[in-house]
Amino acid sequence: MPSAPYGSWPSPLSAAMTAEAGVRHSEPWFGDDGSAWWLERRPTDEGRTTLVRDGEDVTPPGVDVRTLVHEYGGGAWCLHGDTAFYSDFEDQRLYRLEPGARPFPVTPEPPRPASVRYADGRVTPDGRWVVCVRETHGGGEPRNELVALPADGEGEPRVLASGRDFYAFPRPSPDGAMLAWTCWDHPNMPWDGTELWAAPFDAPDKAWLVAGGPSESIWQPEWSPDGVLHYVSDRSGWWNLYRDDEQLTSERAELGYPQWGFGGSTYAFLANGDIACLRVNRGVERLCLLRAGTSRLEELDLPYTAVSYPHVRSLGDRVIYVAMSPSRDEAVVTWSEADGAREISAVEEVLPPEWAPEPRAIEFESADGRTAHAFWYPPRNPDYEAPEGELPPIIVQGHGGPTAHATPMFDPEIVFWTSRGIGVVDVNYGGSTGFGRRYRELLNGAWGIVDVEDCVAAAAHLAEAGEADGRRLAVHGRSSGGFTVLCALAFHRGFAAGASYYGVADAETLAADTHKFESRYLDTLIGPYPATASTYRKRSPINHVDRIRAPVILFQGLEDEVVPPAQAEQLVAALTRNEVPHTYIAFKGEQHGFRLSETVIRCLEAELSFYAQVFGFEPADEIEPVEILK
């Protein structure tokens, strides 16, 4: 077998192939006739998301099915019979689409473009109303409320609930007589404390509190086919399933999920009384069955270990969801006990399975003796090996959120690195979900400390084990993971390079200048602002740039409403003043999370060139070198 230094292995997986593999599926649904529907985001079509039915596009060309409620969106469409309702990204109005007809808006034109937004809709059983979250922007903090919209677009909306800071999961009962929903207020995030309410649909003012509170997180209220309200609560310390007040499962694993988007679901009812459940156990996400009359989950023998965001739905005895495995990218999967699992739409295979590194779950000691977790993806290329005695450079990756978790899966961007001889370790630092509420709360008051310590410990663990070159360690992250990157470079030594994608540089500015959904998030992660302003300044990398010595590359979307571009620009100015080697690349038209294939290509090639220059290897790819400025 040919030998070549780590980082310089030729790989058939180009940056362009990686970007084009970025077609993403989400929000699957069964039609009443058994048809399968889902959303498909296509980077090569200007990042648009298209509604698809049985593999055929349903929405007209140019339509982008996407809502901006909470900025992160989700729950952008719903289905009633064979009639779809969806939010159009262009104007944020809700549209009705019937078979063979042109879509038409069922909500009025807003006073300002995209100032009234809709998400998480469900149609009442009689087809008269679309019940959903409405978010209105018009000066000051946006107003969130639950509304019932006439499904034919005729008549006035009804406000069902208002006065709380946030609403989610409006769910009519099967007979249409009742409505359930969740709500919460600042400074809580939905994984901190939420309330579950129910009311007669025609008398929402007579609502009563079902469950939840400031220190209990409720996820996915759902009515069973016979009209009994179910929900997921973490009152036991783990997100478990409940029916009314009866606890149905007692897992030391999670049946809930961090609610960054709308419309999520981790369980669905089957015709025989069983409940299909997505269980998250130490970052591994698998489909299970809760047999009728039992309390123990039965894990299905399926290869899938991850989802991009959970949307588990059912029809009769069939389940549909989007899943991934360590050797295959995501697919829309249907499952039934009779037929097993079938992939009805899958991302095209970019490489044979032998190129995919097998992610290995690792545990290691971090600061204060606590145990941290990660998935390790070692370099893998069936055509090349490294010279004897050489150890690979590695990328330590901190996930975004930070309330989220890493999962073992086939990620084309990870394989882009491992196939070139660069290892990747994806860290589930303290604060990650999937490990119970106590682990999730390790980050409370300690963002920029615990997450960074665990990333540093992951790198040290692999270096000490002889699996990584301790002199060639990079730290990489997106959004809040970018904050972890910048804190690691400012407050620790050991990383030789960093890559921050739309990362937070100034926590104080973020507390004062971000969107409503996260505007009080940092109260929990750092402390109430402005009472603890000194802590924000102490924690923010922008105030400690003089401590950064390692080269850093920064990527930023210029339309980012979550982490505004001014943060990156302030950081670049400070790096320049302090003569720290750096590269800054900004993208017009990109928001918080890059969507365009040309953006992804540019980022991958630039980051590869950056590491090659810092770590001293010659890429096999013919790419344009980035300039590292001082």
Mean pLDDT of 482-498: 96
Higher pLDDT, 43 or 239: 239
Confidence of residue 22 (pLDDT cuts 50, 70, 90): low
pLDDT score of 487: 97
Structure tokens at 26: 């989400």
Q: What is the DSSP string of 167-178?
A: EEEEEE-TTSSE
What percent of the chain has a predicted confidence (pLDDT) above 70?
100
Contact 285, 308 (CB under 8 A): no
Give the pair of three-digit tokens for residue 475.
């730290």
pLDDT tens digit sequence for 393-443: 999 999 999 999 999 999 999 999 999 999 999 999 999 999 999 999 999
Mean pLDDT over the full length of the chain: 95
**What does DSSP say about strands 552-557 and 497-501: parallel, antiparallel, or unpaired?**
parallel
Give residue 188's Cα distance to chain centre.
19
Long-range contact set of residues 351-358: C-beta below 8 Å, sequence gap at least 24: 351/12, 351/13, 351/415, 351/419, 353/327, 353/328, 354/382, 355/12, 355/13, 355/380, 355/381, 355/382, 355/415, 355/419, 356/326, 356/327, 356/328, 356/380, 356/410, 356/415, 357/414, 357/415, 357/418, 358/326
Which tens digits make up the pLDDT trace of 48-103?
Answer: 999 999 999 999 999 999 999 999 999 999 999 999 999 999 999 999 999 989 99
Calculate mean pLDDT across residues 462-472. 98
Looking at residue 285, what is its pLDDT? 98
List of residues 6+ apart from 456 with CB closer than 8 A: 488, 492, 494, 495
Alpha-carbon gap, residue 81 to 99, rounded angstroms: 10
Element (H, E) at 307: none
Q: Is residue 135's pLDDT more than 70?
A: yes
What mean pLDDT is predicted for residues 122-138? Answer: 97
Q: What does the pLDDT look like over 279-297, one tens digit per residue?
A: 999 999 999 999 999 999 9
Contact assessment for residue 57 and residue 95, using Cβ atoms and an 8 Å cutoff: no
| pLDDT at 564 (0 to 100) | 85
Q: What is d(CA 91, CA 110) in angstroms, rounded to the nearest whole number?
A: 8
Report d(CA 94, CA 86) in Å as an integer: 5
For the chain, domain boundaries: 23-266, 267-349, 353-615
**Domain with residues 23-266, CATH architecture:** 8 Propeller (2.140)
Residue 21 has pLDDT above 80, yes or no: no
The reported pTM is 0.95
* 413-426 confidence digits (pLDDT tens): 999 999 999 999 99
pLDDT reading at 510 higher than 90: no
The end-to-end CA distance of the chain, in Å, is: 40
Nearest to 243 by CA among 214, 261, 221: 221
Q: For residue 549, count CB atoms less than 10 angstroms from its CB and return exposed for 0-12, middle for 13-18, buried for 19 or more.
A: middle
pLDDT digits (tens, 9 = 90+) for 336-371: 999 999 999 988 888 898 999 999 999 999 999 999
Name 214's bridge partners. Answer: none
Q: What is the arithmetic mean of pLDDT over 588-593?
A: 89
180's CB contacts (< 8 A; 6+ apart) are: 169, 170, 171, 173, 196, 197, 198, 210, 221, 223, 229, 231
Dig out the tokens for 91 from the structure. Answer: 């104007």
The pLDDT of residue 187: 97
∠84-127-176 over CA atoms, to 5°?
125
Q: Which two tokens stand for residue 622?
A: 């013919």
Rounded to an integer, the average pLDDT of 17-28 is 88
Tokens of 54: 């049985």
- pLDDT: which is higher, 221 or 510: 221
- Confidence band (pLDDT; 50, 70, 90) for 47? confident
pLDDT band of residue 20 (cuts 50, 70, 90) is confident
Under 8 Å between Cβ of 190 and 220: no
Write the CATH number of the domain with boundaries 353-615. 3.40.50.1820
pLDDT in tens, 189-231: 999 999 999 999 999 999 999 999 999 999 999 999 999 999 9
